[in-house]
Structure 1
């Protein structure tokens, strides 16, 4: 049986904290801005940022909309209070509605991506205002399959947990002061009503991560992966297609 390696929480914490410290030093900035969605990824990124440079140099921004579950906003505030960081809450609906007066679209995907880009505009506004950098919250599972908005939640100055799979993060979070209610709730971006990550991806993260680990880290044959996981080869090919089709999201734009 091929299993995703268990990460040592102390070693992982030290590596990421040092990475963040180096990024701050190299950038010559005064601190970190981070969007707090109330989910596990942003909570971990905020926690590690505080460990690296101190809570007084970390600013949390909570950016709900009408489709954001109420508990996510509550959890964003709770993690900010727990970590002792300053935070600002801005509802983005008024900004979104001004866009939609001009754009006149009813595409939920287009509107969802627009919300993500509005949020990133606000994060970078506060970044510029304070001479901070924007800390990313993407994990390895999302980054590999391109499950993020280009120039939206994918836009940042550093990805401290971008090398760690979602299922690995859930285990690490238990030792990193992240409340159980945040760890155990369904992952979601709240970009439209009743949206969840796993429904959009088409499988639970436990299965996705095992596919990605065997496909990318172990470079295993697709047929072999399908046999081990007892799933259709079409599911492996579907994930592989996501990886290939969305690779552009993580690349610097081409030039002549």
Structure 2
């Protein structure tokens, strides 16, 4: 039995069509409330933004929806192509703008590279070296719930270095510029074309703070706000999101090294994470949850503690949503 079958069964949508209609109606009502003529969706080639653009078309019609994709030099080679595929599948025009020059001018790449080279001397992006930041779940009986590590990939070999607080903050502060520049560019089009911006964050991302304040945390409508990731996949299938997008593992597409959202933030599969978070949110007993999901009770308790801490930390972030 797969993770999705064992951990996600209870979180699937019962009436996908009714949910799609309700979310589309919310987008339509938001456009009317703000007296705009349509909507724009920043497309990453991922499942969330692809579902959002399909919902926007369901709400308004393809002629009143625009897509925009804003890759940079560290984006996956698939990003722009999958973004265009998502737009084409629902008949939406999609603009593409490379934001590398803006990020370069802001010091995004140089500031992060200085940290990487201090931990991994000789690191050279021009020679094909890549890096990412990875979430490290707590192990053993210690109180520490999480750490982050630099994953430097050179000559096909990955080397991990624990990131201290200042180094982690420097890398993430520079990295967050990507989301903020993308939002800036999206609103440039939205303001000129009299459109609302459709935010693409889902329920767990909003609750746990997996978004950037004044970056992808900005928008007038957030249709995925009530949905777990598993439920987003339910909608994607119903709305006809292309299989190439639905079958692609969720990625951050943030650093130069390929990286899944599991490695970066969640520490577990999408489906298992949905089941664990929902159990925590509903106040389930960790021991019963562990038995139901086939996990150790101690591991469930650590995830519950992590969710509680993240929810408290993300409170200030949610002022933008």
TM-score normalised by structure 1 residue count: 0.91
Between Structure 1 and Structure 2, how many residues are aligned?
A: 252
Match of 1:112 in 2: 175
Match of 1:241 in 2: 309
Please show how residues 25-174 of structure 1 align to structure 2 within 5 Å: 25-100=32-107, 104-106=111-113, 107-174=170-237
SS at match of 2:238: coil
Match of 1:11 in 2: 18
Displacement of 1:184 in angstroms is 1.3
Displacement of 1:246 in angstroms is 1.5
In 2: Cα distance, 1:101 partner to 1:182 partner: 28
**Among candidates 280, 286, 289, match of residue 215 of structure 1:** 280
The 1:123–1:11 alpha-carbon spacing in structure 2 relative to 1, beyond 3 Å, is same
The 1:222–1:45 alpha-carbon spacing in structure 2 relative to 1, beyond 3 Å, is same
TM-score normalised by structure 2 residue count: 0.74
Displacement of 1:87 in angstroms is 1.4
The 1:71–1:140 alpha-carbon spacing in structure 2 relative to 1, beyond 3 Å, is same
Whether contact under 8 Å (1:222, 1:237) holds in the other structure is: no
Displacement of 1:177 in angstroms is 0.9
Whether contact under 8 Å (2:103, 2:109) holds in the other structure is: no
Gaps of 5+ in 1: none
Displacement of 1:105 in angstroms is 4.8
Matched, 1:228 2:280: no
In 2: Cα distance, 1:189 partner to 1:94 partner: 21
In 2: Cα distance, 1:105 partner to 1:9 partner: 42
Displacement of 1:56 in angstroms is 0.8
In 2: Cα distance, 1:223 partner to 1:251 partner: 34
SS at match of 1:60: strand
Which structure carries more relative contact order (alpha carbon 8 Å, separation 6+)? 2
Please show how residues 174-189 of structure 1 align to structure 2 within 5 Å: 174-189=237-252
Gaps of 5+ in 2: 1-5, 114-169
The 1:223–1:251 alpha-carbon spacing in structure 2 relative to 1, beyond 3 Å, is farther
Larger-gyration structure (1/2): 2
In 2: Cα distance, 1:226 partner to 1:10 partner: 32
Higher share of residues assigned strand: 2
In 2: Cα distance, 1:10 partner to 1:41 partner: 17
Whether contact under 8 Å (1:7, 1:172) holds in the other structure is: no
SS at match of 1:25: helix
SS at match of 2:11: coil
SS at match of 1:175: helix
Matched, 1:204 2:269: yes
Displacement of 1:181 in angstroms is 1.4
